[in-house]
Amino acid sequence: MQAKEAWTAFPDAGSPAVQVSKTATDGHTVFLGGCNKRLGAGFTGTFSSYRGDALQKIDDQSEPVTFEVTGKAGTERFAGGLHYIAGEESWGITGLLSPAFVVAFGRGDMLTVRNERGKAAFSFELQGSSKAAGTMQRVCGFATAPAASPRDSWTAASTTATAITGDIQISAKGIRFENGTTLELTSTDQPGVLRLVKRENPVLKNNNLLCGQQPPTFVVYGRDERTESLDSSSNLYLKVYNGSQIPPGSDAIGMDHKGSGFCALYNYTR
């Protein structure tokens, strides 16, 4: 199989599953995977025959990676992980990449997998990916899943954000950081103010923490002062708190903050 060939997608006659495959631009690395409705709505698979040095080769160990899709929609990044199996000399995707990834995959031009340091391990041209994505969405039952939006992905724009969180993806349910770590959130009665679902202090890039040794309790999605909502804002001011009181809704506007327990500010753009 040559890198220039289109992605193949074959529905499984015996189950609600689709198998897709492609050879990377390096001419060696092969991806084999797809979706299976019984496993959940998402994308998974295995990379084999990789000859580079950007990925760890420690048996039964996982490492964070970023799945980067570039195309007319811009650059869309999805945090994930790869798990190495020495006996098979292969790296399997840990868990499932979301239906949002499948949407990006279907409209992109190039898929690149990068390690935690940002070094590219391998890339796949996306000829035929639109048809493959459509087949997976139809057969595996997530054709109506919310589309991936570049507006949910934010690029680190401050030194602090670059060093600690990296690029992020946000939603009303949580934050996914560049190293694959997630922070589960729930809404409050204050717009843009979210509470942690459980007490946790996730380890991020370079073994950094969001708020130091004290676990965070609230985060605020701050928007530009000139905009009416985060959807129309080109900047995100992620404010982190470790106090017991809910930050005021006014903290969701601009970079300023009045809430007690404020401990960190991270800036992003898109």
Q: What is the pLDDT of residues 76-113, one digit of tens each?
A: 888 889 999 999 999 999 988 988 899 899 999 999 99
Q: What is the pLDDT of residues 17-56, one digit of tens each?
A: 999 999 999 999 999 999 998 888 889 999 999 999 999 9
The pLDDT of residue 172 is: 75
The pLDDT of residue 127 is: 95
Q: How far apart are CA 116 and CA 112, in angstroms?
A: 13
Q: How far apart are CA 187 and CA 160, in angstroms?
A: 25
> Which residues are CB-contacts of 30 (< 8 A; sequence separation ≥ 6)?
1, 21, 22, 23, 24, 47, 48, 49
pLDDT at 148 over 70: no
- Residue-averaged pLDDT of the chain: 90
Q: How far apart are CA 109 and CA 207, in angstroms?
A: 33
Assess contact for 182 and 176: CB atoms under 8 A.
Answer: yes
Q: pLDDT confidence of 143, banded at 50, 70, 90?
A: low
Residues 135-161, mean pLDDT to the nearest whole number: 76
Residues 179-192, mean pLDDT to the nearest whole number: 87
Q: How far apart are CA 202 and CA 199, in angstroms?
A: 10
Q: How far apart are CA 95 and CA 33, in angstroms?
A: 12
pLDDT at 187 over 60: yes
Kindly give the residue spans of alpha helices, DSSP state H, lying in 76-192.
99-107, 129-140, 159-164
- Domains of the chain (ranges; CATH) run 8-140 (2.60.40), 150-269 (no CATH)
**Gap between the terminal Cα atoms of the chain:** 37
Q: Which of 161, 30, 35, 24 is nearest to 101 (CA)?
A: 35
Identity of the amino acid at 225: E
Return the SS3 of 193: strand
Question: Cα angle vertex 206, ends 53, 114, to 5°?
Answer: 35
The pLDDT of residue 4 is: 60
The pLDDT of residue 99 is: 86
Q: How far apart are CA 216 and CA 181, in angstroms?
A: 15
Return the SS3 of 132: helix
Residues 219-233, mean pLDDT to the nearest whole number: 90
The pLDDT of residue 144 is: 43
Place of tokens 């106090």: 243
Q: pLDDT confidence of 151, banded at 50, 70, 90?
A: low
- DSSP conformation class of 247: P
